[in-house]
Amino acid sequence: MFHKEGFKIIINTFLICAALALFAEYRIDHFWMQKAVQLLSVIILILVLQFFRNPKRKTIPNEKKIISPVDGKVVVIEEVFEKEFFKDKRLQVSIFMSPMNVHVTRYAISGSVVFSKYHPGKYLVAWHPKSSELNERTTVVVENKSVGQILYRQIAGAVARRIVNYAKVGDQAVQGADAGFIKFGSRVDLFLPLDTKVNVEKGQVVKGGEECIAEV
């Protein structure tokens, strides 16, 4: 199953790779060169297909638990001052996604979307400390009665060139549901209440839509 954001790219890649393979078959006489070009076209197609995969995840709704919004590695767990929305101290949990990870962004909690904003910006590597403030990004805040308000920020990386955000103010977010997509490498920051109990460690690999990363 593939994400809808990848349909156009998948089709275009397939056509280019098919044309490349046919060109090699009929225009390149050297046998090993011909096979090398054909193999390369297959590898490129497989890489694009795996990037846009959208596996089904079984989310068990729980108002007191915060699930991972993405697949990836936890790279930051620290208390910070959140400048954009809360303007006070929050617990930041950041998850880095390599180009090999599933790049679907899912809602970490159910609730009402109370803030959603897009910011144009730079394309520093996603693990750079300033990427959360300087890179192209979107900021979304979801609120429910049990957790309160949590903020998640989709951040473009050095390779990522497009962030897709479906969250709009007034929407009712459903925990584990599709909230957006970041194309080709990225990072997601979560800003949680200070009294939140974090269930993951720095360096841990997490699974979006299923794994509980924190709870109240």
Active site residues: 186
Backbone angles phi, psi at 170, to 5 degrees: 100, -15
Q: Contact 170/44 with Cβ under 8 angstroms?
A: no
Question: How far are the Cα atoms of 9, 34, 45, 168 from residue 15, in angstroms, in the given order?
Answer: 10, 18, 10, 35
CA atoms within 13 A on the CB side of 118: 9
Tokens 């060169």 correspond to what residue?
33
Half-sphere exposure of 54 (CA within 13 A, CB side): 19
Three-state secondary structure call for residue 12: helix
